Chains A and B, each alone.
Chain A
Amino acid sequence: MSAIEITFMLGKILAFFGIVVALAALSTLAERKVSAWIQLRYGPNRVGPFGILQPLADGLKFIFKEEVVPDGANKLLFRLAPAMVATPALLAVSVIPFSFPVMIDGVSHAMSIIDVPIALLIILALGSLQVYGILFGGWASNNKYSLLGGLRSSAQMVSYELTLILSILVVMMLSGTMNLTDMFYDQETGQVLLWTIFKFPVGTIAFGLFLIAAFAETNRHPFDLAEAETELVGGFHTEYSSMKFALFFIGEYAAMVTMSCLLVILFLGGPTLFGLLVGIENTWVRALLGMGVFLAKLCSFLFLFIWVRWTIPRYRWDQLMHLGWKVLLPISLVNIVLAGVWVIYIAPTWGG
């Protein structure tokens, strides 16, 4: 292992970790800015130009606030829960490739922190771990609202996880791999029609299912019943304050970033742009341009998450369960059968 490889490795870790934390922090600002824009207000505009330093100020404030652990709370689980939500969300970055691979000394290096063949499994496993954190947080708070919020949130996450996994299975059938770098390579040979979302009808349905399930998985509006303000105050984090509260939020936003990354890689061809970037000889230039494309797609999905939150009313709990189990689950099971037919009969003739 040469010195340049080690630098590249550490650089990747720093850069990708930084990207996700920065995006998570900036999307809290974007959330408030976009909501203000939708509701004809100004939003935060005092800290720095256009309020751009607001996340930093919030972070500082979180550090200096008192931490309250309520009486009768289970101290161990109460302290463990925020870490159990935030850590898996931050670690899920490790397998996401942000761009095309680069060549160092004639060896191809993937632009993800680790390049493993089971990347999707790792992301799903880490995503499932977050449920424990939420359930612990809700249970340990010694608060009825928190308990109900934690229960709701975990029931909702497991219900929609089935749809999420089934729509990922469809993409895996279409591309024949679980490695995310191979997955976006499979979607580009110079043609738009090879992006999974354009593989009508299978890929399009899978995209829709994944999008809805992603909203539910990250406890975002319109499925944010775990923290429906009018019913459960703050849901599972009612009793949390200071940095613990902030970690729940970082976990939520980092999960949102991971979900957007998955959406981009699985359905929109990752860093590919209509085959324009494949022809570039210098792998470093190609990787940089690809990363720009990737981040642009990623940010548009983050914007979608925020946009939906401020325009669509919230679901009722029984409607949510009805949608998850009786609408999305049968559709996704049928979609797998369709994908089988698609791969056998249509794929050989698709896109020339």
Chain B
Amino acid sequence: MYYDFLNVAVLALGGLGFVYVNLLIFSLIRPNKPSKLKLSTYECGMEAFGSSWVRFDMRFYSVALIFLIFDLEIAFLFPWSVAFRDLGMIARVEGLIFILILFVGLIYVWVRGDLDWVKSFSQGRAIRLGPTAEEEAMLLRMQVEQALSEASALRTVEEGESSTEATV
């Protein structure tokens, strides 16, 4: 058995060698002519401004946290699932109860809205950044009606003008 791991050592040397020969040894024959423009970060041709280590979205962090918990719980399921065929009924049901707990956790984060990437405004938990879809539709309808009434008012005025022209 132990010489199996000699294989791994040889393979690991091969893999690391492949990577580092490419990175280090070949770097001796590469040209190296840096200039200020070449070393500036690429920002689609615009001049780069500010630091790139900006604050990023909180949701990436919450996704990582949820993943961590789920992954940990799934790690407990590995031995259970390998032995599933030979287990007794009680052990099988216990594993299923564990999965049920996992499922309850999933429902909890789902209901809390942690899985929504685009926060729903109807839930009331998220900060309202703008009008809801219904409000937006209503607003649009009001605007359209107003525009229509203005247009019809204009038309009556024009008609009045044209009729006065005709009489004149």
Question: Quick check: A71 and B5 within 8 Å, CB to CB?
Answer: no
Question: Quick check: B30 and A65 within 8 Å, CB to CB?
Answer: yes
With an 8 A cutoff between CB atoms, is B41 at the interface?
yes
Question: Quick check: A71 and B15 within 8 Å, CB to CB?
Answer: no
> Please, how many angstroms separate the alpha-carbon atoms of A93 and B99 in the complex?
31
Question: Quick check: B74 and A169 within 8 Å, CB to CB?
Answer: yes
Say whether, besides A91-B11, A142-B41, A326-B115, A159 and B67 are in contact (CB < 8 Å): yes
Segment of A33-41, A97-105, A108-116, A275-283 engaged in the interface with chain B: A108-116
> Please, how many angstroms separate the alpha-carbon atoms of A321 and B64 in the complex?
12
- Distance between A80 CB and nearest chain B CB, rounded to angstroms: 10
Chain B residues within 8 Å of A340, by CB = 84, 92, 95-96
With an 8 A cutoff between CB atoms, is B34 at the interface?
yes
- Distance between A189 CB and nearest chain B CB, rounded to angstroms: 16
Question: Quick check: A246 and B96 within 8 Å, CB to CB?
Answer: no
> Please, how many angstroms separate the alpha-carbon atoms of A33 and B17 in the complex?
30
Say whether, besides A159-B63, A162-B67, A10 and B10 are in contact (CB < 8 Å): yes
With an 8 A cutoff between CB atoms, is B40 at the interface?
yes
Question: Quick check: A64 and B81 within 8 Å, CB to CB?
Answer: no
> Please, how many angstroms separate the alpha-carbon atoms of A56 and B103 in the complex?
50
With an 8 A cutoff between CB atoms, is B33 at the interface?
yes
Question: Quick check: A144 and B54 within 8 Å, CB to CB?
Answer: yes
- Distance between B19 CB and nearest chain A CB, rounded to angstroms: 5
Residue of B whose beta carbon sits closest to that of A84: B19
Chain B 142-165: CB-based contact to A (< 8 A → 1; otherwise 0): 000000000000000000000000
With an 8 A cutoff between CB atoms, is B166 at the interface?
no
With an 8 A cutoff between CB atoms, is B122 at the interface?
no
Which residues of A in the span 52-75 have a Cβ within 8 Å of any Cβ on B? 63-72
Question: Quick check: B23 and A82 within 8 Å, CB to CB?
Answer: yes
Interface of A is mostly: helix
Segment of A42-50, A147-155, A263-271, A305-313 engaged in the interface with chain B: A147-155
- Distance between B35 CB and nearest chain A CB, rounded to angstroms: 10
Chain A 2-46: CB-based contact to B (< 8 A → 1; otherwise 0): 000000011011000100010000000000000000000000000
Please name 17 pairs of A and B residues whose Cβ atoms are closer than 8 Å in the assembled complex, sorted by A.
Answer: A63-B22, A68-B38, A83-B23, A115-B4, A143-B48, A155-B60, A159-B67, A165-B71, A173-B81, A238-B42, A243-B27, A247-B23, A317-B117, A321-B117, A325-B66, A333-B102, A336-B81
Chain B contact residues, CB within 8 Å of chain A: 3-8, 10-12, 14-16, 18-20, 22-23, 26-27, 29-34, 38-44, 48, 51-54, 56-57, 60, 63-64, 66-67, 70-71, 74, 77-78, 81-86, 92, 95-96, 99, 102-103, 106, 110, 115, 117-118
Chain A contact residues, CB within 8 Å of chain B: 1, 9-10, 12-13, 17, 21, 63-72, 79, 82-83, 86-87, 90-91, 93-94, 113-116, 121, 139, 141-148, 151, 154-155, 158-159, 161-162, 165-166, 169-170, 172-173, 176-178, 233, 238-239, 242-244, 246-247, 317-318, 321-322, 325-326, 329-330, 333, 336-337, 340, 343-344
